[in-house]
């Protein structure tokens, strides 16, 4: 059975794409897979370039990033591990729950 080593999240730079939520990208990185994403909309808020994924701005940059990650297992492992930590630290129930509870409490008090 084939197994993914890199996930791609391409988006055209359009109003519609800029309004999307980035769930697919979050699901990819939650699995600990390095992602290559277009620097469009929320992608640039989710991914820190070359820290927990790769952000690109063109088709050629996508190709270069794919070749780079395919050829460097250590880089894939580092980005994937950092990506998983990003999801846990910023988007998990453990991270978001207290903020949501505080917001709801302030609304109820208010």
For residue range 58-84, what is the model confidence (pLDDT) as tens digits?
A: 999 999 999 999 999 999 999 999 999
What is residue 49's DSSP assignment? B
pLDDT computed for residue 110 by the predictor:
77
All domains of the chain in start order, with CATH? 7-109 (3.40.50.2000)
Q: Decide if pLDDT at 2 tops 60.
A: no
Angstrom distances, CA of residue 9 to CA of 14, 17, 36, 42, 102 = 15, 11, 6, 11, 33
Alpha helices (runs of H) in the chain, residue ranges in sequence order: 15-18, 23-30, 43-46, 59-70, 73-90, 93-109
pLDDT band of 109, cuts 50, 70, 90: very high
pLDDT band of 1, cuts 50, 70, 90: low
pTM of this structure:
0.86
Record the tokens describing residue 52, joined without a space: 């927990």
């Amino acid at each position: 059975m084939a197994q993914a080593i890199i996930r791609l999240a391409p988006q055209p730079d359009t109003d519609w794409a800029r309004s999307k939520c980035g769930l697919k990208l979050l699901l990819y990185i939650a699995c600990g897979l390095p992602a290559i994403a277009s620097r469009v909309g929320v992608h640039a808020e989710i991914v820190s370039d070359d820290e927990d994924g790769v952000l690109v701005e063109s088709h050629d940059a996508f190709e270069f990033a794919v070749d780079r990650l395919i050829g460097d297992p250590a880089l894939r492992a580092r980005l994937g591990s950092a990506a998983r930590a990003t999801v846990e630290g910023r988007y998990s129930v453990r991270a978001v729950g207290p903020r949501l509870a505080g917001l709801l409490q302030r609304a109820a008090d208010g």
